[in-house]
Chains A and B, each alone.
Chain A
């Protein structure tokens, strides 16, 4: 199983809503990542978890709150988002951050903030 599964595929939320994005992998990977991708742009790194601990936070606003409940799951909690936060949110996993191995990406959650 080389899949990274993200839910939901699409999400529309108001600026006062609270929602969560979910990501799951069963490859035994110990590094998991959140990326944000705007249209016609490359994915931009948001957070890195290594062995279930937050390893890198790329100066992301606090309205985005990541959580890694266990080695297979990664969540991104959303609260009080702005319309400019609308984007494709990608989850990825890899064996370890220090190893030179590929990262596997999910299909993303298309988020629209209204």
Chain B
């Protein structure tokens, strides 16, 4: 299944299926992106990152794709498991408004997608 993460939508998939979570980022100058997983009552947990000089990066069961032309990021989870149920956020490292050009940068998060895995 697929989702577009603009309003914290919910993506519901069957256990064992592949999941695709999408994210549109805002700043064409962003050069570093991270996907985080956040379970209920916990802090965000790093999943995978990608730099802007790459268009694909693979981890264990996860793949991140970056399309700089349309400013789009996706997270693919293979063989989704019940333990993958969580909210997923993309984040880009940018200088906040008013701080551009100062070298001061921090992660800014997208709106998130809830992944529900049905057993």
User: Do A104 and B46 form a contact, CB below 8 Å, given A55-B104, A56-B106, A97-B103?
Assistant: yes
Q: Which 9 A-B pairs have the closest CB atoms?
A: A42-B109, A105-B43, A100-B32, A102-B46, A105-B44, A107-B43, A55-B104, A48-B106, A108-B43
Which of the residues A33, A40, A107 comes within 8 Å of B106, measured between beta carbons? A33
| Contact digits for B108-119, partner A, Cβ 8 Å, 1 yes 0 no | 111110000000
Given contacts A56-B104, A58-B96, A102-B49, list 12 more A-B pairs with CB under 8 A. A41-B8, A42-B89, A45-B108, A48-B104, A90-B43, A92-B43, A98-B105, A102-B46, A107-B42, A107-B43, A108-B42, A110-B41
| A57 to B: closest C-beta gap in Å | 10
Which of the residues B44, B103, B112 comes within 8 Å of A98, measured between beta carbons? B103
Across the interface, do A106 and B106 meet the contact criterion of CB distance under 8 Å?
A: no
Interface residues of B, Cβ cutoff 8 Å to A: 8, 31-32, 34, 36, 41-46, 49, 51, 89, 93, 96, 99, 103-112
Across the interface, do B103 and A45 meet the contact criterion of CB distance under 8 Å?
A: no
Which of the residues A42, A44, A50, A105 comes within 8 Å of B104, measured between beta carbons? A50
Chain A's closest residue to B105 (CB) is A97
Q: Could you say which residues of chain A place their CB within 8 Å of the CB of B96?
A: 45, 56, 58
Which of the residues A90, A102, A107 comes within 8 Å of B34, measured between beta carbons? A102
Q: How far is the CA of A98 from the CA of B94 in the complex (A)?
A: 10
